[in-house]
Amino acid sequence: MAVRPDQLRIVHYPDPVLRRVAQPVEAVTDEVRAVARRMLQLMHEAPGVGLAAPQVGLPWRMFVANPTGEPDDDRVFINPVLSGPSREAASQQEGCLSLPGIQGDITRPTAITITALDLDGRSFTLTSDDLPARVWQHETDHLDGVLIIDKMPPIDRRANRRLLKELETAAPG
């Protein structure tokens, strides 16, 4: 099935694609590069700091991120693998482009390492103990069908109950 990058849009909860485990990208092709460019465009328009392929309806293990907002900091992560999480964890407010208006305190390791392929199919490894570490973990959760609503404390789930119901009611089908 050919993908038309210009047709990609951010999908919202409760779209079932957000709950599926994404499959590895088999080869970095022109199609994959075009999808990555479109995902970066959608992320910036939203605006957001990251966007995973399932959030545009594709079951691919790929995400884009730019935690700084600087044009030169756009990055594509294909088949990412997280490793070496720190023992130290911290809670911080997170939102999600597929859950508009919903935020919650999410506890994550403060530092992590990621290994992925770039748009040329080359492997790279990065480590962060700052916002990029949080973004990488959030986006990798998407690749595993996990949403922030699965990780937020009960008090935040209750605070977001009305917004979640509205998203469920607005969903097509």
120 neighbors 164 (Cβ within 8 angstroms): no
| Catalytic site positions | 139
* Alpha helices per DSSP H over the chain: 30-45, 131-143, 148-151, 154-159, 161-170
At residue 110, what are phi and psi to the nearest 5 degrees?
-75, -25
| Cα 141 from chain centroid (whole Å) | 7
Q: Please, is 31 exposed, middle or buried when counting C-beta atoms within 10 Å of its C-beta (0-12, 13-18, 19+)?
A: middle
Which amino acid is located at 146 in the chain?
Answer: V
